[in-house]
Structure 1
Amino acid sequence: MKLFRYIKMALVFSIAYSCTGDFEEINTDPNRIDKISPGTLLNPILYGISSFNTDRADGFTFQIMQVALPFPSANGGLHRYDLTENSGNSTWNTYYRWLVNIREMKQAAIDAQDPNYEAIALTLEAWVGSQLTDSFGDVPFAEASKGEQGIFQAKFDTQEQIYAQIFENLERANSIYDPTRPMVFGEDILFGNQVSRWKKFTNSLHLRLLLRVSRVQESSFQKMAAMLGNPAQYPIFTNTDESAILNITGVVPNISPWGRAIDFTTFRAISEFFVDRLNELEDPRRMRFMTQARALDGTTTLGYRGIPSGYGGTESQFQFIPSNHNIALVQAPMISLILTYAELEFIQAELAQRGVINSDAQAHYENGVRAAMEQWDVVIPEDYFENPNAAYDETLERIILQKYIGLYFNDYQQWFEYRRTGFPVLPKQDGMLNDQRVPVRFRYPVNSQLNNPVNYQEAVARMGGDDINTKVWWEK
């Protein structure tokens, strides 16, 4: 039964966060859970997805988006745009695994007649659904995770259909939150049972995803303007403290995704593109994100210097030890970014720059930059925006550059935003594969091809191929 999947993790979180002391003596098997509460599932879902996303930000997004790379790296690798047919397997398997639990949580909330937990489950379903479809394109969604109902070969929904369901989920979630009703099934590890913050997360996610599809659905702009114009009905994050940022405490089971922090820095280098952008900005986040480069003697520091992503030739061409990750980033206590106030300010800056909302684009831009530093406990210099490279110049490119930096370590968001906007403009190197083009999707896992061939073939024909360069619906 799917009820017992991940039950061990659920029980550990339940013990850690939700002891109530209100137990009944019943004449049933004490080793068998007859019915599970929505709160029992919530914390394992939050931790499981967030920790995976943080790991994938390092393992995938950093390389694709020229933030960091393996070094030395003689040939191949994601930073050279070498995506294999297996590159998306963990993404597919992990998100579908947790989607089962989210939908079980939703049903448990409905059974308990608890609108707040139902709204949270709808929001989590929208979050995971968007991650799946933005990574692959058309995917099983409506019929996914329904093996117990006899559906073993789920139909692939179009991305447009999936987004329609996502927006319906988020609209309903926003409408059913009840701030007068306490969350009684234990304390959640993201917002500490603050229903108002969950509601802000729902609407903030709604804005993120409306912007994502705005190229193909212009009505998204009108919806975003309407939401931002009605904060009483559609509250969103208004400061960094409200952000969806999971604090990973290091107390079991809420531990760092890195079993050995040293793995985060072994044979690694920061990308030249990322370092150079931060150097041009004289950005104080450099110290938080990375180490300084050193001369080959191992002791003389050279400031912040990186290695070109996708470089050709051997590493002997680089006569220095490049900047590396700051190991403290993955040592608990640490943070896992889900959706931040900084991102909301950059969204509003873009909408103002485009003329969608009547607001001050420069103010939103600067608020976004400040918040993107604040979330990493970095203090912005008073003269930061006096630097011509940091000052708002009324262009979308300038907004997205700072958004790119602000989305550092935020799952696949840098990649998704690059595909939506084409910014920042990434340099090309001789060692890059795929005609030096940034891949725009994962290929479907081989198992989906073998076990669901009819629906797989239908989806591939509809999308125009199962290729890393096949654009998804909202990119076309």
Structure 2
Amino acid sequence: MKNIKQQLTRLTIQSSLIMILLASACDSGFEEMNKNPNAFTDPVIGSLFSYNLIRTAGSSDDNTLYPNDKLAGAMMQIFASLNPYQWTGDKYLKKAGYTDGLFNAVFGTELKENVQILTLTKDDPEMVNYYNIARIWHVYIMHRATDMYGDVPYFEAGQGYTEGIYKPKFDKQEDIYADMLKELDEAAKNLDPSKPSFGSADYLYGGDVGKWKTFAYSMMLRLGLRLTKVDLALSETWVKKAIAGGVMQSNADIAKLNHSSGGELNYYWDGRELQGGEGVPPSEEGRGYGKMAQTFVSHLKDTGDPRLPFYITLWPGNADPTLLPTSTNPADQKGLPSGYDASSIKSIIPDWTDDSYAEYSEINLHTVAHDATPSIFLSYNEVKLYLAEAALRGWDGGDPKTYYEEAVTASMKMGPLYPGSFSIPQADIDQYLADNPYTGGTFEQQMEQIHTQFWVSQFMNNMEIFANWRRTGYPKLTPTNYPGNETGGTIPRRIPYPQSEASINTENYKAAIDSQGPDLWTTRIWWDKE
């Protein structure tokens, strides 16, 4: 990866230069710049895009650890904790910093550079690829926000810097989805391989417009299937359009941002935070807060999943990677029951002591939670599982079983993309598929097989797992009922807006509540129709 700190420094200098030039109408060089905008905007836009990709992948706990792990990951019974103040998701407890995080990151960080790029490139035919790639990335940014909260600012979002709109109106999710799908469709069609692109400033695809087109249609497949509960015919239309347009064909198409150990603009933020004080720091010798949940660990063990040592370990392996071969032994792994604290856990484990915590499994800090772990935005194996559902619904001519097995294989072949170059032999993959065959059955039985596999294979893409669970109901999870929880003992359907929106953007916040329903964890968003 290029030295991102140097690019950020260059961005600061170039951005300052262009702001000075734009602010001074009588500057003798202004007319020349106006006649040839690429002379100055090209390098600035490239740096803006690089920075935007990095900050969307991880700008702080706000768009990583909080929404992805402590909330979605714990609600989906992947993570569990006995600390009700640091890890709240498995207990459905409100902590404003956690629920506010993604909202603040999207509207305070992720959209800023993206909207600037869209504004600078929109009307320049030579920058058609810059513009349309930014449109695709805008959809990626916004779909996470609307899927977690429901109605959010969209059409006026991120325009404080460009248009002076500091209190944007909230838009209905139905309208947001219609526009996101339209944007993906138009952007994919308008990408032009004969025109310049971001090149090396594009850390996902190196400026390859063909790859971006594939990403756009794969995103369309993801969003099109979101509509199955609310508008089946519309869902079918968009799914078929996505498949016809061309979705991912191999792991080489994965939308990912590579990281390296280093400063905050280099490392994988989610992994870095899990290594820290609120996760499972090796210095705690197994007493860190964020353990793996019993539901998830039991499933890996019961199915003989060869991804288990890639995903999880006991703490000695995190402290010393030379111990991983023994610390990842499947028979020794234990998942922590969800929904308990250090006192109530004794109701099901009477002999529990503080030392017991060290006996429970943690995320593997040397593979999926390393500083150099790649940020995976959308994977080929995810696409294959979507195709399995599309085929099951009769929207694709393929075989659900074949797609399912290809999805499993693709997931198990992703290890070399991560630190440690973890590799699962083909024989182990074949054995897993033989031991856990796609058996067919009723529509719902097949949906359960497909989307339980989704839950397992999308590990650490936990916000997407949460969205997919709300749409499909799989995997089947037993809710917890911790005292004082926000839902009355049911798994949440969304997370609430930041209180700052109620106090600062009051009029628009109230309009959103009137439209969508109470600002509660149990209020269903538009596509999550009951």
Partner residue of 1:457? Answer: 510
1:176 CA displacement: 0.8
Could you tell me which of 311, 320, 328 is aligned with 2:340? 311
1:265 CA displacement: 1.5
1:180 CA displacement: 2.3
Q: List aligned pairs for 1:47-62, cutoff 5 A.
A: 47-52=54-59, 53-55=63-65, 56-62=67-73
Greater shift in the superposed pair: 109-118 or 195-204 = 109-118
Greater shift in the superposed pair: 36-45 or 198-207 = 36-45
Q: Does 1:361 align with 2:375?
A: no
Partner residue of 2:305? Answer: 283
Paired letter, 1:265: V
Q: Deviations over 1:197-239 (max 9, x none)?
A: 1111111011100111222122333324532553xxx121100
Paired letter, 2:526: W
Write the distance in 2 (CA, Å) between the matches of 1:221 and 1:161. Answer: 15
Write the distance in 2 (CA, Å) between the matches of 1:112 and 1:356. Answer: 38
1:10 CA displacement: 5.7
Q: Does 1:11 align with 2:45?
A: no
Greater shift in the superposed pair: 445-454 or 220-229 = 220-229
Q: Does 1:38 align with 2:45?
A: yes
1:314 CA displacement: 3.9
CA contact (8 A) 1:291 1:324 kept: yes
1:150–1:188 distance in 2 versus 1, CA, 3 Å: closer
Could you tell me which of 310, 321, 327 is aligned with 2:365? 327
Partner residue of 1:22? Answer: none
1:411–1:121 distance in 2 versus 1, CA, 3 Å: farther
- Partner of 2:474: helix, strand, or coil? coil
1:112 CA displacement: 4.5
CA contact (8 A) 2:218 2:242 kept: no
Partner residue of 1:265? Answer: 280
Q: Does 1:371 align with 2:400?
A: no
Write the distance in 2 (CA, Å) between the matches of 1:11 and 1:293. Answer: 37
1:76–1:438 distance in 2 versus 1, CA, 3 Å: same
Write the distance in 1 (CA, Å) between the matches of 2:253 and 2:470. Answer: 28
1:175 CA displacement: 1.1
CA contact (8 A) 2:84 2:91 kept: no
1:69 CA displacement: 2.0
Q: Does 1:350 align with 2:350?
A: no
1:184–1:352 distance in 2 versus 1, CA, 3 Å: closer
CA contact (8 A) 1:281 1:390 kept: no
Write the distance in 2 (CA, Å) between the matches of 1:361 and 1:13. Answer: 49
1:85 CA displacement: 4.3
1:109 CA displacement: 2.3
Q: Deviations over 1:229-267 (max 9, x none)?
A: 53xxx1211001111122112355322311683544241
Write the distance in 2 (CA, Å) between the matches of 1:333 and 1:83. Answer: 31
Could you tell me which of 114, 122, 138 is aligned with 2:151? 138
Q: Which has the higher helix share?
A: 2
- Partner of 1:87: helix, strand, or coil? helix
Identity %: 26
Write the distance in 1 (CA, Å) between the matches of 2:177 and 2:377. Answer: 19
1:184–1:100 distance in 2 versus 1, CA, 3 Å: closer
Write the distance in 1 (CA, Å) between the matches of 2:274 and 2:207. Answer: 32
CA contact (8 A) 1:346 1:368 kept: yes
1:119 CA displacement: 1.0
Write the distance in 1 (CA, Å) between the matches of 2:479 and 2:459. Answer: 21
1:27 CA displacement: 8.2
CA contact (8 A) 2:385 2:407 kept: yes
1:459–1:9 distance in 2 versus 1, CA, 3 Å: farther
Q: Deviations over 1:352-400 (max 9, x none)?
A: 112222210000011111112222344251221121x453434101100
Q: List aligned pairs for 1:322-471, cutoff 5 A.
A: 322-328=360-366, 329-377=368-416, 378-379=423-424, 380=426, 381=428, 382-387=430-435, 389-394=436-441, 395-429=446-480, 431=482, 433=485, 434-471=487-524
Return the TM-score normalized by structure 2.
Answer: 0.78
Flag structure 1 segments of 5+ consecutive residues without an equivalent.
1-6, 16-25
Q: Does 1:65 align with 2:116?
A: no
Partner residue of 1:125? Answer: 138
1:184 CA displacement: 5.2
1:45–1:392 distance in 2 versus 1, CA, 3 Å: farther
CA contact (8 A) 1:37 1:105 kept: no
Write the distance in 2 (CA, Å) between the matches of 1:242 and 1:374. Answer: 13
Say which structure, 1 or 2, has more relative contact order (CA 8 Å, 6+ apart): 1
1:73 CA displacement: 5.5
Paired letter, 2:370: Q
Q: Deviations over 1:258-293 (max 9, x none)?
A: 168354424132100001111121001110111148
- Partner of 1:192: helix, strand, or coil? coil
Partner residue of 1:244? Answer: 255
1:229–1:446 distance in 2 versus 1, CA, 3 Å: closer
CA contact (8 A) 2:80 2:87 kept: no
1:330 CA displacement: 2.6
1:167–1:311 distance in 2 versus 1, CA, 3 Å: same
CA contact (8 A) 2:452 2:474 kept: yes
- Partner of 2:201: helix, strand, or coil? coil
1:401 CA displacement: 0.4
Write the distance in 1 (CA, Å) between the matches of 2:462 and 2:56. Answer: 10
Partner residue of 2:184? Answer: 170
CA contact (8 A) 2:240 2:395 kept: no
- Partner of 2:376: helix, strand, or coil? strand
Q: Deviations over 1:391-436 (max 9, x none)?
A: 3434101100001111111151011011111111112345363222
Write the distance in 1 (CA, Å) between the matches of 2:401 and 2:146. Answer: 32
Return the TM-score normalized by structure 1.
Answer: 0.86
CA contact (8 A) 2:382 2:454 kept: yes
1:213–1:359 distance in 2 versus 1, CA, 3 Å: same
Partner residue of 2:323? Answer: none
Greater shift in the superposed pair: 454-463 or 429-438 = 429-438
- Partner of 1:337: helix, strand, or coil? strand
1:89–1:107 distance in 2 versus 1, CA, 3 Å: same
